[in-house]
Amino acid sequence: MKVAKFGGSSLASGEQLRKVFEIVVSDPERKIVVVSAPGKRNSDDIKVTDLLIEAAEQQLRGENGEYLIEDVVSRYASIAEELDISESVITGIHENFMALLHADQTNPKRYLDALKAGGEDNNAKLVAGYFQSLGVEAQYINPKKAGLIVTDEGGFTRVLPESYDRLYALRDEPGIVVFPGFFGYTLDGDVLTFSRSGSDITGSILANGVKADLYENFTDVDAVYAVNPNVVSNPKGIRELTYREMRELSYAGFSVFHDEALIPAFRAGIPVHIQNTNNPAAQGTRIVNTRDNTNGPVIGIASDKGFCSIYISKYLMNREVGFGRKLLHILEDYGVSYEHIPSGIDDVTLILRQDQMKGDAEKKIISRIKKELHADEVNVEHDLALIMVVGEGMRHNVGTTARASKALAEAKVNIEMINQGSSEVSMMFGVKGHNEETAIQALYHEFF
């Protein structure tokens, strides 16, 4: 049995849905179909999810977001029209979105999540209706009915482990199950969405729950490429990646697959296959536990912007018991998490996502570090990009760091920090945000 997830780009128009249908029915093993909300039809388009977020925010500001809901509904209507799906389906979708828009706003986060989730929920109904109209046994199944139970952990949606056992029963449903991605229900019956692009997570949870043989993730590229194809043209496609490599690369910026979507499939030993809806004959990329051929030290290079670093220096920091704890406690007081902590004898650097520093949080954090920890020096650097060079082969190859540093030096990119850390499959370089693309191109040409 296979779980097939289709992303927003695969569901943006009637023409795309036709391709999805052909793919699903061409393999009887494709039993569970997870869908996102309609995505962009071209590069200037807006995703349905973004329209829904804007509509919710307008309502919460006391403005009227109804015109945005009309835009959203017209997206479903044009798909339905292209595919000759009964108008009553669109009437139902319109009513549902209007009810969500005018729902109780006492808890703004819950209100926003419910409206956002409507994008995938209504799309699953539309896709199931389309499959039925072509004479195929298919049904929409709601995550609450299926038992996809989630919880809110400090603002992050996490699946509850008991969901997996409940979801197993989906195996026995008749025909094809069309399941909306991106959200689940709390034990109290509230809708909670995963983070953006979270339908990949739903697909992985379902693959684990039904103990699928394969989790197929259909998108709009022939493969996961060694670098972001928007930064280097025609980059090398990757045939096989390990879970660990993909986890590092998706965390560090490969937006093609959500970084939280690997763990459920990985825990159940289910391989993930990333494929192209627009070219299903292409080989795609398989994500597996181990791969035989390491093909040189590096398999991919990812990057992400929007980081800052706090450098703290204090003579004899290494001898001071509790220094790290006190430092991290200050961050905790402001609800700030860290990404990396490279350290030396007398110094430590905290690398954080800059957007967490709301209001005067940064000022307060710095002043407390200075006062409470009696630091000799505290410096903040903004607008950093982190570049992750990843590959299982790195463990067996000598000189990879030297090659990377040389390539960056030749491209005149100053390395702000290096962290080889405890991960055996990656090394990280911090560079100024404006050097990100130059750095990626230089590293790509060095290793590929």
Ligand X SMILES: Nc1ncnc2c1ncn2[C@@H]1O[C@H](COP(=O)(O)OP(=O)(O)O)[C@@H](O)[C@H]1O
Interface with ligand X by CB under 6 A: which residues?
A: 7-10, 36, 39, 197, 219-221, 224-225, 227-230, 254-256
CB neighbour class for 417 (10 Å; exposed up to 12, middle 13-18, buried from 19)? middle
Q: Which is nearer to ligand PHD, 39 or 253 (CB)?
A: 39
User: Which residue in the set 3, 17, 37, 192 belongs to the binding site for ligand PHD (CB under 6 A)?
Assistant: 37
Q: Pick one of ligand PHD, ligand X, none as the site partner of residue 224 (Cβ within 5 to 8 A by kind).
A: ligand X
Residues 198-227 that bind ligand PHD (CB under 6 A): 198-200
Sort 290 into a burial class: Cβ within 10 Å, 0-12 / 13-18 / 19+: exposed
Q: Is 221 or 352 the residue whose CB approaches ligand X more closely?
A: 221
Q: How far is the CB of 89 from ligand PHD (least distance, A)?
A: 19
The three-class DSSP label of residue 448 is: coil
With respect to ligand PHD, which residue has the nearer C-beta, 230 or 379? 230
- Classify each residue of 330-364 as buried b or exposed e, where b means 16 or more C-beta atoms within 10 Å of its C-beta: bbeeeebebbbebeeeebbbbbbebebbeeeebee
Q: In terms of CB distance, is 47 or 244 closer to ligand PHD?
A: 47
228 binds, among ligand PHD, ligand X, none (CB under 5 to 8 A by kind): ligand X
From the list ligand X, ligand PHD, none, which binds 275 (C-beta under 5 to 8 Å, kind-based)? none
Least gap, CB of 253 to ligand PHD (angstroms): 14
Terminal C-alpha separation, the chain: 36
Looking at residues 39 to 58 of the shown chain, list those that interact with ligand PHD (rule: CB under 6 A). Answer: 39, 47, 49
Q: In a 10 Å sphere around its CB, with 0-12 CB exposed, 13-18 middle and 19+ buried, how is residue 384 labelled? A: buried
Question: Smallest distance from the beta carbon of 448 to ligand X, in angstroms?
Answer: 12
**Which amino acid belongs to residue 294?**
T
Q: Which residue lies nearer to ligand PHD by CB, 38 or 393?
A: 38
| Residue list for the binding site | 5-8, 49, 120, 219-220, 225
Of positions 7, 129, 342, 391, contacts ligand PHD by CB under 6 A: 7
Q: Measured between alpha carbons, how far is residue 300 from residues 51, 248, 412 in Å?
A: 33, 10, 22
- Cα 149 from Cα 327, distance rounded (Å): 35
- DSSP-assigned letter for residue 354: G
**What DSSP string runs through 196-212?**
TTTHHHHHHHHHHHTT-
- Residue 75 near ligand PHD by CB under 6 A: no
Q: Which of residues 181-200 bind ligand PHD (CB under 6 A)?
A: 181-182, 196-200
Rounded CA gap, 170 and 161, in Å? 16
Query: Which stretch in 13-21, 36-44, 103-111, 264-272 sits in contact with ligand PHD by CB under 6 A?
Result: 36-44
Q: Which is nearer to ligand X, 227 or 262 (CB)?
A: 227
Encoded amino acid at 301, one letter: I
Residue ranges that bind ligand PHD, judged by CB under 6 A: 7-8, 36-37, 39, 47, 49, 119, 181-182, 196-200
